[in-house]
Amino acid sequence: MKGNETIPQYVARGRALYDKLLSIGHTIEEQEVVWSVLGGLPEWYMGMVTTIEANAANGELDLDDIMAKLMIVEQRKSTKFGEVEAYYAKTPVKCYKCGEEGHIRCDCPQKIKHEL
């Protein structure tokens, strides 16, 4: 999975590869694509991957099923990080060198003046 790729985009990319392979006459089961998609996910999805694997009826999964389940994890992750980002966006930063708001110590204009 690429850095800023969403679950629907990632699964669609897997489905497109599956369709291309079928169109050129390669025999591949959708199940193989599902396992490849699950194997290419980042670490924070591994809990859901384990759950999906454990609850798979007879090992039969399809891309639509896993996409719905993985989107739940993606939504929770984005909500959690969104809340953290919103908190820090509302909280002004304060310099420990000069005490002014709007920058941090390593970017302090007074520090830069003293170094010159």
CA dihedral 19, 23, 24, 25 (to 10 degrees): 100
Residue 113, domain member (yes or no): no
**pLDDT higher at 89 or 61:** 61
Instruction: Answer yes or no: is pLDDT of 88 > 70.
Output: no
Instruction: Kindly state whether residue 49 falls inside one of the protein's structural domains.
Output: yes
Whether 48 is covered by a domain: the verdict is: yes
Q: What is the pLDDT of residue 23?
A: 95
**Residue 105 domain-assigned?**
no
pLDDT in tens, 1-23: 887 888 899 999 999 999 999 99
pLDDT at 86: 58
Residue 25 lies in a domain: yes
Residue 110 confidence (pLDDT): 82
Domain interval for residue 54: 7-91
| Tens-place pLDDT, residues 50-85 | 888 888 766 678 888 888 889 888 888 776 655 655
Provide the 8-state DSSP code for 45. G
Within a domain: residue 100?
no
Q: Which residue has the tokens 């897997």?
A: 14
108-112 contacts, C-beta under 8 A, 24 or more apart: none
- Rounded to two decimals, what is the model's pTM? 0.60
Return the residue matching tokens 């891309």: 63
Task: Specify the number of domains making up the chain.
Answer: 1
pLDDT of residue 22: 93
Q: Is position 16 within any domain?
A: yes
Mean pLDDT for the stretch of residues 30-58: 86
C-alpha 19/C-alpha 7 separation (Å) is: 18
